[in-house]
Amino acid sequence: MICAFLIFFWVQHELSFDRYNEKGRNIYRVLQHIRYSEVVTWAINQGPLGQALKEEIPEIAEQARYSFARWRINHKDEIFAYIGGYTDPSLFKMFTLPFVQGDPDTALSDPRSVVLTRELAQKIFGSEDPIGKIINVADEYDFRVSGILQDLPDNTHFRFEFLANMNLIFALWMTDWRPCTAENSGWDGSSLCLRAYLFLFPVWAFLDWLLLSNSGYSWGQDW
């Protein structure tokens, strides 16, 4: 009986993943089928893919890219090593990522701004107000804290403690963790380890498009 309960709770937890996202029914992650000696499917995409899909497909209301990062953060002679990511500010419009402090519309508008989770902010700054504080990354780059997020729930596929502007990944490769390189940021490769997320208009907007559009675009194309 105990085993049955444990299995039940485990299954319930697995099925709850990402269900906290209020707009989850309209969010899609782009997968690619790569042909080697056999077909490999993964969620790594080329840098321009998300924006190109948004421009090509009228049903896509928004897109956001995300790439893993690991920073060595220096503050008051202490060093913190944490996992986070680079992303587009539009991520906050798509996913339910509540802000404790700061404005999600402007939090990453400055390329040298950074958003922290509440847990990381407390580890670094303690009881101090973190907004506007400066952190140093890799002894070289300064960032201003512009927002604090609620800590992520356990049942999410995201694993980050900070978020920085995606544009930095193309200009400066600052992460200490380098399984990917910044050399192929175009269509030639997917070495930036980018995920692409798409937010589709609600179904009534989609149906309206079907009735009014004469573009002839065909769904089911293998991206």
Digit-coded pLDDT (tens) for 161-209: 999 998 877 665 544 434 454 444 566 655 557 888 988 876 544 554 4
**Residue 5 lies inside a defined structural domain of this protein:** no
Identify the three-state secondary structure at position 60: strand
More confident residue, 139 or 219: 139
Query: What is the CB neighbour count within 10 angstroms for residue 46?
Result: 20
Count of domains for the chain? 1
Which are the contacts of 25, defined by CB distance < 8 A and separation ≥ 6? Answer: none
Structure confidence at residue 185 (pLDDT): 54
DSSP state of 152: P
Q: Is 13 within a domain?
A: no
**Structural domain includes residue 2:** no
155 inside domain: yes
Q: What was the pLDDT predicted at 37?
A: 80
The confidence score (pLDDT) of residue 199 equals 87
Instruction: Look at residues 153, 121, 211 and name the one whose alpha carbon lies nearest to residue 21.
Output: 153
Average pLDDT (74-89) is: 85
pLDDT at 130 over 70: yes
What is the token pair recorded at 55?
């421009």
Residue 4, pLDDT > 90, answer: no
At residue 82 the predicted structure's pLDDT band, cuts being 50, 70 and 90, is confident
Q: Which residue has the tokens 């804290």?
A: 145
**Could you tell me which residues come within 8 angstroms of residue 94 by beta carbon, excluding any fewer than 6 positions away?**
23, 27, 62, 64, 197, 199
In a domain, 14, yes or no: no
Q: Is residue 108 part of a domain?
A: yes
Average pLDDT value over all residues in the chain: 76
Of residues 21 and 66, more confidently modeled:
66
Please check whether residue 4 lies inside any domain of the structure.
no
pTM over 0.85: no
> Residue 138's domain spans which residues?
21-212
Residue 181 lies in a domain: yes
